[in-house]
Every structure is written in structure tokens, then in C-alpha cells.
Structure 1
Amino acid sequence: MLDHQEPRLGPDHADTVASFGRFAYWTGELGDPERAVPRYDELLARQRRLLDDGHLAVLNTRANLVSWHGQAGRTGPALELCEELLRDVERHTPEDHPLRPITEAEHAHWRGAAGAPAEAAAALLLVLPRVTAALGPAHTDPFAVRWRIAHWTGVAGRPSQARELMRSLLTDVSSVLIPEHVTFLTCRVEYAHWTLATGDVEQARALLTELAPEVEAVLGPGHPEAVRARELLAALPDPAAGRER
């Protein structure tokens, strides 16, 4: 589509920019944050030639840049970009706009990734009711916030609590999302991770033996969650070695 639109309409035509935005979106969603970042950079440059910085489309693109920088392992830039975005979201959006609590949650998450997991979990717990009120309890964003609360709770040294939080989240996710949904699969991988972290090796093995090939089949072998599931499974101790002793 872009090969046809760009020479005929120009790179900054609204239709071309919309198509480029979908191209950037699916690049990230298919699990390729390294390529998503420059594509969102290019999208932002095109949008800024058409729109002012307070436009919702520009703010959303900046939010995506925060996420994909972070998922590509660049925590420092993600946190810095998120701090700047949060100030602009507060300046340009009404107090009840969903992007406000969503950006606050994103900021808390990258604070956790920067080395403050307990503070991140506490901040996410505070913002969760506002994200839920803005989007509804069955939206994937409140699910993501709950996943992050569990994750940073575990990283902060409470793996059993993290496992219980993920168990509760999985119950709610399973009632809303299809089994193949990326959020559902991500939650299952996280639950397996904290099951292993609590020392329940055999349960973790049972979960991951089923889960790893399923995630790979649905999301592709190169997707970060597929890689994570395989690495968790590979890290399990060999059961045969235990029987030999």
C-alpha cells in the first residue's frame, strides 16, 4: 500500500501517514521493537509536519515510542521520553482523558525497569483504579497494569505474592480473551515464571512444556514471549539427573 501511496500522494499526505502508522504498529506487535522504534520515529516526524504537538495522534505516537524503546532494552531513553510525554499529556488533554492514567502507568513501569521495582508496584497499584475507570475492567490496558503490578512485586522480592496476583489475573483474562490473544499468552508465561521462582519446579515444567510450543505457534518463534518461554523451559533442571541421584 505504501509503495503505491507514497509516490502518488506524497509521504506527508494524511492517507499515507495513516498507512505508515499501521505499518509501524504491526512491526511492533509482531515482536520486533528494534525495527518499530525507527518506524515510529519516522511516523512522528511526518505527523509533526501536519499536526501540532498537542494533537492526540502525536501524543499516542510518542507513547508508542516510549513502549518500544523500553521493549528494545533501552530503559533510560524510555523513562526520559515518558517523563517528557507525561508533562505534555497533562498540558494538552482534559483531566478525564484515558491517556493520562495510561501514561502514568507507563512511567511507573519504566521506573521499575530502571531499578525501583517496589516503587513501581506501589505507583501502579495507585493508578490501576483510574485506568480501569477510563477503559473498563475487561480492557487489555488494565490487564497490562495488573501484570506489571505482579511483575514488579515479584522482582521486589515477593515471588509468592506475584504468583497469586498472576493467578487472579489469569482467571479474569480467561473470561474475556481468546486463548491465542497475546495478552493471555503473556500472562501465562509470567505465571509460569513466578511459579518457578517460588520453587515449584514440577508445576513450572508442566506449564512450560505445554506453553512454549503454543506461544511459538501463535506468535512466531522470534517473538519475545516465545523466546522467554523457551528460555524458561530450557533453564529447568533435568528431571533425569534428579532420579539418578
Structure 2
Amino acid sequence: LTTRHDLARWRGELGDAAGAAAAFAEVLADRERVLGSDHPQTLTTRHDLARWRGELGDAAGAAAAFAEVLADRERVLGPDHPQTLTTRHDLAHWRGMAGDTFGTSAALAETLEAMERLLGRDHPRTLAARADLALWRGKTANAAWSVHAYGELLDDMLRVLGPEHPDTLATRDSHANWRGTSGDAEGAAAELAELLPDQEHVLGADHPQTLMTRHSLARWRGEAGDADGAARALAELLEDMVRVLGPDHLRTLAVRLDHAHWHGEAGDIAGAAHLLGKLLEDMVRVLGPDHPRVVTARQELRWRETGAGEPG
């Protein structure tokens, strides 16, 4: 069961969220039968299953599942157990993904205080909580605070984890993106251009995080004024996304949306509208007609078809 659990986790980390969720559901049924519902390993599988359900797009369902796991971990392991603290962290994160941005920031601040007290400021889980707090504080329209927080966190990650640790690379990516969000598109693009070869070296060219950095780099180059370069970079990235993650993966669809956007910004309004029309059909099929990304694609398509205003 432990091997099957680990295989399910790596399946998700490599981009197959649906496969990971299905595998964790199977492992959970067997662990409940063999070990019982309160066994720590059973609770761990429930925790991981909740995460990958969230990664599939059901943020509210993930938050509800994490709330149930948290109650059971507090009862079985105690409120100060490291695994309980991890579940508190993830519950706050997925509540934010479900829309409660301000509540998430407050919950993460409380969780971080407990982690620093119980685990220490340099513990990997504490560092992860600091990263999430920086993310959600930024989403409350405090981008400048997030740039500063990610900068401090990066210094600590370099000291504790080293420059090639995946979490250090992810923090560099986040710092660059919040720098762009705060208004410095050129600086964000420059940071991401430096990060990309390090990710390719450590993680590989086809790793999902490497692909996401290429996506962000194209975006900030576009925001810095190079719409044509952004469109070309996204066209190249799209081929790799389809090959690695598949045509219906959420991140592939996101790249298609940005590719169409920057195609239009580069001057080809009709071509952008054509790309968006085809994309919208696929997004409705995969996500349903009311998904927020479908709404965004519709707004972008209407804007391109009229050729006026700004997309909502």
C-alpha cells in the first residue's frame, strides 16, 4: 500500500491529477479495510486524495475534505502534530482557491505562527506556509508585500535548502511573477529568463514547473511590450504542453487562451478570434459552460470579435 501511495503521488506530481485522484481513492479503500479509518496512514491518504481532487478543479470539495481530515487528525494525532499543522495549511490554501481570499490569509498567518513555534522557522513545512501566505496576501491586492516576502523567503530557502532544491526554484518563480504583478514586467521577464535554464537543468525541460515558467516568461515579455515574441513563445510552448500534458489539461487550455490573446495583441485580431472560438468549444466540453475560465474565454472572444475595449 505504501508503494501504491507513493506511485499515486508521483503520478500527480508529473501532471496526471485525474490519475492520481483515482489511484488515491483505490489506496484509501484498501487502507480503510486493512488499517482502519483512524490509522495515520489512512489519514495521510485522505489528505493526499483531497489535494488531487482540488488540483482537478474542485476547490470547494477539496476544502470540505481537508476540513474533515483536520478534525480527525486533531482527534487522533493532536492539534500540534506536524501532520495536523500540514492539514491546517492545506485547508486554508483550498479555501482560498474556493474564493475565501481574506479568510485564507488570516488562517495561514495563524498556522504559520504555530509552525514557527512548534517546528522552527527553517523547517520545510514552515517555509512552505510562508510561501503560501505570501501568495494569498498578494491576492488581497498587496503585491508589493508579496514581492518583499518572497524575497526574504528566497534568502532563507537558499540557505536551508540550497539553490537547486525544487522549492527554491518555485520561490524564484513566484518572486518573479509577483514582481510583474506589482508593475515591473521587464524585471519579471528578466528573472524568469535566468530561472528557466536552472529549472531545465534540475527538473528537466518537460517538467510541469518548467513548462509553467515558460508560460509566465512569455506572458511578462508580452506585458513588457513584445506581443509578437510572446505569441511565438506560446505557440512553441503549446506544442510541448500538448505532448507532455495532453490537449485537455487545464494548463494546456490556459496556454491556448494566452496564445490567442497575444496573437491578437500582435495585430491578428481575426486569427485570435478563430483560435478563441476553437478553444471555447474545447473548454466547454472539458470544464463545462459555467467554469470561470470559460467565462474569461467568452469575454476575450467577444472583445476580439468587436475589436474594441478591454476584455473583462
2:296 is the counterpart of 1:218 = no
Distance in structure 1 (CA, Å) of the matches to 2:162 and 2:295: 40
Q: Is the 8 A contact 1:180 1:218 kept in 2?
A: no
What is aligned with 2:190?
A: 122
**1:103 aligns with one of 168, 171, 186:** 171
Unaligned runs of at least 5 residues, structure 1: 240-245
- The 1:127–1:191 alpha-carbon spacing in structure 2 relative to 1, beyond 3 Å, is same
Q: Is the 8 A contact 2:269 2:304 kept in 1?
A: yes
What is aligned with 2:310?
A: none
Residue 167 of structure 1, CA deviation = 0.4
Corresponding letter in the other structure for 1:110: W
Q: Structure 2 matches for 1:1-245, cutoff 5 A?
A: 1=68, 2-6=70-74, 9-29=77-97, 33-212=101-280, 214-215=282-283, 218=287, 221=290, 223=292, 225-238=293-306
Distance in structure 2 (CA, Å) of the matches to 1:220 and 1:50: 45
TM-score, normalising length from structure 2? 0.67
Distance in structure 2 (CA, Å) of the matches to 1:118 and 1:233: 27
- Structural RMSD (CA): 2.7
Corresponding letter in the other structure for 2:287: V
Moved more, 86-95 or 38-47: 38-47
- The 1:81–1:212 alpha-carbon spacing in structure 2 relative to 1, beyond 3 Å, is farther
Q: Is the 8 A contact 1:212 1:229 kept in 2?
A: yes
Moved more, 124-133 or 40-49: 40-49
Distance in structure 2 (CA, Å) of the matches to 1:30 and 1:114: 24
Q: Is the 8 A contact 1:66 1:82 kept in 2?
A: yes
Q: Is the 8 A contact 1:102 1:131 kept in 2?
A: no
**Partner of 1:236: helix, strand, or coil?**
helix
Cα shift readout 1:10-69 (whole Å, capped 9, x = no counterpart): 433334223333323434555765554344334323322321111111112222223333
What is aligned with 1:242?
A: none
Corresponding letter in the other structure for 2:303: A
Residue 198 of structure 1, CA deviation = 1.4
* Greater RCO structure (CA 8 Å; 6+ sep): 1
Residue 214 of structure 1, CA deviation = 4.2
**Partner of 1:90: helix, strand, or coil?**
helix
**Partner of 2:305: helix, strand, or coil?**
coil
Distance in structure 2 (CA, Å) of the matches to 1:150 and 1:106: 15
- The 1:215–1:140 alpha-carbon spacing in structure 2 relative to 1, beyond 3 Å, is same
Distance in structure 2 (CA, Å) of the matches to 1:220 and 1:70: 29
Distance in structure 2 (CA, Å) of the matches to 1:208 and 1:131: 30
- The 1:29–1:204 alpha-carbon spacing in structure 2 relative to 1, beyond 3 Å, is same
Distance in structure 2 (CA, Å) of the matches to 1:95 and 1:49: 26
- The 1:168–1:71 alpha-carbon spacing in structure 2 relative to 1, beyond 3 Å, is farther
Corresponding letter in the other structure for 2:113: A
Share of identical aligned residues, percent? 32
Q: Aligned pair count? A: 238
Moved more, 182-191 or 148-157: 182-191
- The 1:159–1:31 alpha-carbon spacing in structure 2 relative to 1, beyond 3 Å, is farther
Unaligned runs of at least 5 residues, structure 2: 1-67, 308-312
- The 1:119–1:95 alpha-carbon spacing in structure 2 relative to 1, beyond 3 Å, is closer
Q: Is the 8 A contact 2:280 2:294 kept in 1?
A: yes
Corresponding letter in the other structure for 1:232: E
- The 1:68–1:179 alpha-carbon spacing in structure 2 relative to 1, beyond 3 Å, is farther
